[in-house]
């Protein structure tokens, strides 16, 4: 069955979130999934974490790879924009919804770049999930910062310390002033917390403030995920919203722990003052985050 993704979303009222995917459907029009931002940068929303791209006569950069099927769709659309191979394929962090498309895109890429913790965490996660054979790892790693001239653009990656995982990079296209944050921000969605993957919610709060200070109100940020009302791009004010939500989540759990409550007793469907963050159809998302923070703070 062939339907247009756009019309499917319209007719069913399904939110065009990054996590939406319909196995078995062939989308006739992938161009609806591409959104240009400025100076050759843009986003691709298929299934999983938002892909960022930079296309010029001199360079092609992709940030994140989603899953094999959507990575193939993305590559199809990119080829309509350029004949180049991928000069730099970037992994913002190791999670499967950002790296499972590596095997699809790696044959078209010169190198895969990531923070040095990414291949390590990806390997450990693959061993836990027993899907080692599906992995392709970054072959170009850096410790704190990596910068590359792309002709009329410069790309810079920076690691701010453990936050969403132990290996999150911010990828900044400096002249466009567009920054891909990976999953450092889930825009108005309770962010996935992955303790074995190195999540550190206290440091995450500091990292969001540090990133906010490093950029300006002109910077356009690309987020790994976002709800349908706020979307997957925005400005640095969103970073402070994400910081405040994480802070409120930690306080809610810490207060409960101090009162001797169990994790089950702390499950709520929303946090006061954060109505936009709750999907009434999926209260379990927040429940999962409360359980993760409970485990983190009980350690
Ligand atoms: Zn993630």
pLDDT tens-digit profile of 56-96? 999 999 999 999 999 999 999 999 999 999 999 999 999 99
Position 241 scores a pLDDT of: 98
Chain CA centroid to CA 89, Å = 15
Domain that holds residue 161: 2-237
The Å distance, Cα 96 to ligand 1 centre, comes to 8
Average pLDDT taken over every residue of the chain: 92
Residue 223 included in any domain: yes
Q: Residue 135: CB partners within 8 Å, gap ≥ 6?
A: 99, 102, 103, 122, 123, 126
The Å distance, Cα 260 to ligand 1 centre, comes to 31
Residue 272 included in any domain: no
Percentage with pLDDT > 70 across the chain: 91
Q: What is the dihedral of CA 46, 48, 54, 60, to 10 degrees?
A: -90
Give dist(CA 59, CA 120) in Å, integer. Answer: 28
Residue 278 included in any domain: no
The Å distance, Cα 24 to ligand 1 centre, comes to 25
Residue 280 included in any domain: no
The Å distance, Cα 19 to ligand 1 centre, comes to 12
The Å distance, Cα 28 to ligand 1 centre, comes to 29
Give the model confidence (pLDDT) of 107-125 as tens digits: 999 999 999 999 999 999 9
Residue 104 included in any domain: yes
Residue 232 included in any domain: yes
- How many residues are given for the chain? 299
Give dist(CA 188, CA 185) in Å, integer. Answer: 8
Domain of 158, CATH number, reads 3.60.15.10
**Number of domains the chain contains:** 1
Residue 287 included in any domain: no
List the end-to-end C-alpha distance of the chain, in Å, as a whole number: 50
The Å distance, Cα 17 to ligand 1 centre, comes to 15
What's the pLDDT band for 202 if we cut at 50, 70, 90?
A: very high
Residue 29 included in any domain: yes
Position 30 scores a pLDDT of: 77
């Amino acid at each position: 069955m062939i339907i247009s993704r756009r019309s499917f979303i319209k007719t069913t009222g399904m939110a065009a979130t990054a996590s939406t995917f319909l196995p078995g459907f062939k989308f006739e029009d992938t161009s609806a999934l591409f959104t240009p931002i400025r100076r050759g940068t843009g986003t691709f929303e298929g299934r999983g974490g938002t892909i960022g791209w930079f296309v010029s006569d001199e360079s092609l950069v992709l940030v994140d790879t989603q899953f094999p099927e959507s990575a193939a769709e993305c590559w199809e659309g990119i080829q309509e924009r350029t004949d180049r191979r991928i000069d730099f394929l970037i992994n913002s962090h190791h999670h499967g919804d950002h790296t499972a498309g590596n095997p699809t895109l790696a044959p078209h890429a010169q190198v895969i770049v990531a923070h040095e913790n990414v291949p390590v965490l990806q390997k450990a996660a693959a061993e836990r999930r027993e899907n080692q054979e599906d992995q392709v790892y970054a072959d170009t790693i850096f410790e704190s910062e990596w910068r590359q001239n792309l002709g009329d653009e410069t790309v810079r990656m920076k690691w701010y310390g453990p936050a969403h995982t132990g290996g999150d990079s911010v990828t900044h296209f400096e002249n466009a002033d567009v920054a891909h944050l990976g999953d450092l921000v889930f825009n108005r969605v309770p962010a996935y917390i992955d303790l074995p993957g190195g999540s550190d919610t206290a440091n995450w709060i500091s990292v969001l403030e540090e990133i906010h200070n490093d950029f300006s109100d002109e910077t356009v940020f690309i987020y790994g995920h976002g709800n349908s009302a706020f979307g997957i791009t925005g400005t640095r004010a969103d970073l402070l919203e994400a910081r405040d939500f994480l802070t409120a989540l930690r306080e809610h759990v810490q207060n409960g722990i101090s009162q001797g409550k169990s994790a089950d007793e702390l499950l709520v469907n929303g946090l006061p003052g954060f109505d936009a963050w709750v999907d009434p159809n999926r209260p379990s998302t927040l429940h999962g985050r409360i359980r993760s923070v409970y485990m983190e703070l009980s350690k």
